[in-house]
């Protein structure tokens, strides 16, 4: 960009970049918390600069004389030895949002009209929503007008206690689908908070305020590995259960086998008196379940620093968790299938035995030549034999 003589198109580009495309600054301008004017320096030339390009100087003067809003341009008289005294534009000042939109042209005008079109039905519902609508303008902007009308329809229907312990998707709404409510919770909460004195946030969110049942989350796969457990589940041999159910309802077996990865769970053999829970990865929170204190819990994860960290997390919740195939013997038996671990975990302070901590350090330092052995890379016969050894014997648990 030229060091002097900024043209109108240069000033417009700067305004667009610094004001219009800068989300937080634009929001502050619209709310009035960042005051006008917006000032743009036009960089008049020195005498030596003028001599470098006299044609640009004359073009610079002519362009600003044609500016559609002359009151926005500040001119001063300057004396140049080469051309004498002349009026030179030194500054552009924009004094309002409307003026900024006009200067930026058709795209900004169209966008602002879209804002007005979307905001008006909601302001007709409640004029006090203006500030909240500006703060949520980007959420609002992505909605179609059909969605705006759904929003106008749903807001008056939502009131404290409406859910009566239904799931959010089962709310008794008229003319509005509950998926719309679920997908637009951020915007709906902000608007309801404005309408109800921040009640929704004070209650901990929309579902709590409506008195809805918590939507199930953190789904895990459950696989009964013995005939008795399958019969308990009416012959179903693979289920998905949410975190909340696993914490609350005991599984029908003495042995609970926890497997880190999803695909490894599919290869599990039949085992006596055993149910497997798999595919949770780093999600070990469900292991806080009280009923697990009376069960034998085995944990099988990747042989890498993260897998051992997840094992340690599991033991923080249930100290009697037994590690399966997460040892040096397993690593050395399959070391040719190992790879490096790009971002090793930090050694956890608690939850690993002395031997496991030594293994962790060896993996992290690459002393085995590899840092990661995925559980799926273990030979199937090896997996089945080690799991059978665990399931058929009451192993002595080593305290970490």
CATH code assigned at 239:
3.40.1360
Q: Are residues 76 and 166 in the same domain?
A: no
User: How remote is the C-alpha of 227 from its chain's centroid?
Assistant: 41
Phi then psi for residue 22, to 5 deg, are -95, 95
Long-range residue pairs from 390-396, CB within 8 A, at least 24 positions apart, any chain:
390/255, 390/298, 390/322, 390/324, 391/255, 391/257, 391/271, 391/272, 391/273, 391/274, 392/272, 394/296, 395/322
Q: Are residues 198 and 299 in the same domain?
A: no
The domain boundary, picked from 104, 136, 156, lies at 104
pLDDT single digits (tens) 356-386:
999 999 999 999 999 999 999 999 999 999 9
3 assigned to some structural domain: no
43 assigned to some structural domain: yes
Sequence length of the chain is 400
Other CB atoms within a 10 A radius of the CB of residue 154 amount to 22
Q: Are residues 56 and 37 in the same domain?
A: yes
Domain boundaries, position 127: 112-210
46 assigned to some structural domain: yes
pLDDT single digits (tens) 131-160:
999 999 999 999 999 999 999 999 999 999
pLDDT single digits (tens) 257-271:
999 999 999 989 999
pTM of the entire structure?
0.66
Give me the number of domains the chain comprises: 3
323 assigned to some structural domain: yes
d(CA 269, CA 202): 49
Q: Are residues 303 and 364 in the same domain?
A: yes
Judged against a pLDDT cut of 70, whether residue 399 lies above it is answered with no
How far are the Cα atoms of 40, 177, 253, 305, 375 from residue 104, in angstroms, in the given order? 13, 39, 69, 54, 58
Q: Are residues 284 and 328 in the same domain?
A: yes
Q: Which two tokens stand for residue 44?
A: 């008049």
1 assigned to some structural domain: no
The domain boundary, picked from 176, 210, 244, lies at 210
Q: Are residues 53 and 139 in the same domain?
A: no
Q: Is the Cα dihedral 213, 216, 218, 220 positive or negative? A: positive
Quick one: average pLDDT of 168-195?
94
User: For residues 230-262, b (16+ Cβ closer than 10 Å) or e, as one string?
Assistant: beebeeeeeeebbbebbbeeebebebbbbbbbe
141 assigned to some structural domain: yes
DSSP 169: G
Q: Are residues 225 and 338 in the same domain?
A: yes
How many CA atoms, within 13 angstroms, populate the side-chain half-sphere of residue 362? 18
Q: Are residues 235 and 337 in the same domain?
A: yes
| Residue 295 and residue 314 in contact, taking contact as beta carbons nearer than 8 Å | no
| Residue 294 and residue 270 in contact, taking contact as beta carbons nearer than 8 Å | no
The domain boundary, picked from 179, 210, 241, lies at 210
Q: Are residues 228 and 325 in the same domain?
A: yes
Q: Are residues 326 and 354 in the same domain?
A: yes
Q: Are residues 185 and 256 in the same domain?
A: no
Q: Are residues 237 and 320 in the same domain?
A: yes
d(CA 259, CA 379): 16
215 assigned to some structural domain: no
Q: Which two tokens stand for residue 39?
A: 């000032």
182 assigned to some structural domain: yes
| Residue 93 and residue 42 in contact, taking contact as beta carbons nearer than 8 Å | no
pLDDT single digits (tens) 227-267:
999 999 999 999 999 988 999 999 999 999 999 999 999 98
């Amino acid at each position: 960009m030229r060091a002097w003589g900024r043209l109108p198109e240069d000033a417009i580009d700067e305004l667009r970049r610094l004001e219009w495309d800068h989300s937080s600054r634009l929001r502050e301008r619209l709310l009035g918390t960042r005051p006008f004017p917006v000032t743009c320096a036009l960089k008049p030339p020195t005498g030596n600069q003028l001599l470098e390009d006299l044609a640009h100087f004359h073009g610079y003067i002519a362009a600003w004389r044609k500016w559609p809003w002359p009151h926005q341009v500040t001119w001063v008289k300057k004396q140049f030895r080469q051309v004498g005294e002349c009026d030179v534009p030194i500054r552009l000042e924009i004094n309002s949002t409307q003026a900024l939109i006009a200067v930026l042209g058709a795209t900004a005008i169209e966008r602002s009209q879209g804002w007005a079109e979307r905001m008006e039905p909601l302001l007709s519902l409640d004029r006090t929503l203006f500030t909240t609508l500006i703060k949520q303008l980007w959420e609002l902007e992505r909605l179609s007008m059909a969605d705006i009308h759904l929003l106008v329809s749903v807001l008056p229907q939502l009131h404290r206690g409406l859910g009566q312990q239904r799931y959010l998707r089962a709310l008794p709404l008229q003319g509005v689908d509950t998926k719309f409510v679920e997908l637009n919770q951020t915007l709906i909460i902000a608007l309801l908070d404005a309408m109800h004195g921040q009640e929704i946030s004070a209650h901990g969110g929309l579902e709590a305020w409506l008195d809805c049942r918590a939507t199930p989350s953190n789904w895990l796969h459950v696989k009964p590995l013995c005939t008795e457990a399958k019969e308990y589940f009416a012959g179903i041999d693979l289920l998905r259960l949410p975190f909340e159910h696993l914490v609350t309802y005991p599984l029908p077996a003495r042995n609970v086998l926890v497997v880190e990865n999803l695909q490894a769970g599919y290869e599990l053999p039949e085992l006596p008196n055993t149910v497997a829970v798999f595919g949770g990865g780093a999600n070990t929170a469900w292991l806080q379940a009280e009923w697990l204190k009376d069960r034998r819990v085995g944990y099988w994860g990747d042989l890498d620093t993260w897998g051992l960290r997840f094992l340690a997390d599991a033991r923080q919740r249930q100290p009697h968790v037994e590690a399966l195939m997460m040892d040096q013997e397993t690593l050395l038996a399959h070391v040719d299938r190992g790879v490096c671990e790009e971002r090793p975990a930090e050694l956890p302070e608690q939850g690993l035995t002395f031997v496991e901590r030594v293994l962790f350090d060896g993996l992290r330092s690459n002393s085995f030549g590899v840092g990661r052995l995925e559980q799926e890379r273990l030979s199937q016969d090896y997996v089945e034999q080690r799991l059978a050894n665990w399931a058929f014997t009451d192993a002595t648990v080593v305290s970490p």
